[in-house]
């Protein structure tokens, strides 16, 4: 919550709470790593308490007019990760706690299943994005292996997501969006998902 306050004071326009990819918050929500026997462990609702309290505290610090995003693990891809029903339940609880928008993440870093490598088809995780979108009324962002403007447009047109986020495609070509706006998508230096220099 203090970080959120600093972000606002520094002139940022939003803050995103990282609840995915096996980081701390995700370790609370998944039975795989949460072995607690207090009010933060055991049932799905108890394991969701930590992210819910973080969202509530962040909202209280930044006020109602500052966007708070939550990056949810839409699929954990690890043994004893969150189930589909648990992910849907968490999404609804986080929305109720004061989240304005939900970004989707996939897999833990410990997972043997690749999520962003070239062997993963473009927009391969769209089924999990749609699962989250159908669970909440706030905007949902699709991410991971979306490196083509036509693929991004399809996700939006079909209602899979409300927005699309990109990271590696912008490392490959910082002018990605500008070239799309100019009607020059063929000139984009497309990310080939080699994972060299951005992750490895």
Residues classed as catalytic: 23
> Using an 8 Å Cβ cutoff, are 87 and 73 in contact?
yes
How remote is the C-alpha of 96 from its chain's centroid?
A: 17
> Using an 8 Å Cβ cutoff, are 107 and 54 in contact?
no
Question: What are 71's two structure tokens?
Answer: 């990056």
DSSP 186: G
Task: Report the interhelical angle of 84-97 vs 126-135 (nearest 10°).
Answer: 50
DSSP labels, 130-141: HHHHHH-SS-EE
């Amino acid at each position: 919550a203090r970080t959120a306050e600093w972000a606002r004071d520094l002139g940022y326009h939003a803050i995103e709470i990282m609840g995915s990819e096996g980081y701390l918050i995700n370790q609370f929500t998944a039975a795989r790593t949460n072995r607690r026997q207090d009010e933060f462990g055991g049932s799905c609702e108890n394991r969701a308490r930590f992210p819910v309290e973080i969202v509530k505290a962040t909202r209280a610090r930044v006020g109602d007019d500052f966007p708070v995003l939550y990056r949810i693990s839409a699929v954990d891809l690890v043994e004893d990760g969150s189930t589909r029903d648990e992910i849907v339940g968490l999404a609804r609880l986080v929305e109720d706690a004061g989240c304005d928008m939900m970004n989707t993440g996939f897999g833990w870093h410990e997972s043997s299943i690749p999520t962003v490598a070239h062997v993963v088809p473009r927009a391969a995780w769209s089924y999990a994005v749609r699962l989250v979108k159908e669970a909440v009324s706030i905007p949902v962002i699709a991410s991971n292996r979306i490196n083509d403007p036509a693929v991004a447009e399809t996700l939006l047109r079909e209602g899979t997501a409300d927005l699309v986020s990109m990271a590696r495609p912008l490392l490959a070509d910082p002018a990605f969006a500008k070239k799309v706006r100019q009607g020059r998508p063929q000139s984009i230096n497309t990310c080939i998902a080699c994972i060299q220099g951005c992750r490895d």
